[in-house]
Amino acid sequence: MARLVILDRDGVINEDSDAYIKSPEEWVPVPGSPEAIARLTRAGFQVVVATNQSGIARGLFDLETLHRIHARMHRVVAEAGGRIDAVFFCPHGPDAGCRCRKPAPGLLEEISARLGTTLEGVPAVGDSARDLEAARAAGARPVLVRTGKGRRTEAAGGPALEGVPVFDDLAAAVDALLAGRL
């Protein structure tokens, strides 16, 4: 069985926007992220994305647009030599009370069920406290990057950050993982 890494999308793989990523043109990779995913692919890791996409519930974009955004992400990562094996997303708004919107662990539990594997020890890389909380609740290993909302998350501190390794970006986190330091 392949080793697994779970990545948040906005702020980890691509630049985040408080106005949401609403089109493929607005999807801009964080420098070094596509190449970092390529290194994971070459090292035999399965790379899966778990992302809240409440812009759908807010009416900012539809499912077809989200699929086009993800097609761009897949293409950019493939051009760097990498592969994203699956994308799991929550389309609900913050007040929907669903189980799939992070910080709830539903998306990660779905990944575990679909792949038929435990998430114990699986790195789950995010840039927000809700990413870290979802990872911890699902039994995965939370990892924070400073890109996206990561610097704000780190500065805010709190229980979500306890014992969580922090890296400048996805490339640095992947360096540590591949070197056995994560």
DSSP-based three-state secondary structure for 166: strand
Q: Is 40 exposed, middle or buried (0-12, 13-18, 19+ CB in 10 A)?
A: buried
> How many Å apart are CA 159 and CA 128, to the nearest integer?
12
Tokens of 158: 């709190």
Is position 8 annotated as part of the catalytic site? yes
Is position 16 annotated as part of the catalytic site? no
What are the phi and psi torsion angles at 85 (to 5°)?
A: -75, -30
Helices (H), 25-156: 33-42, 63-79, 106-115, 129-137, 150-156
DSSP-based three-state secondary structure for 95: coil
> How many Å apart are CA 127 and CA 121, to the nearest integer?
18
Known catalytic residues are: 8, 10
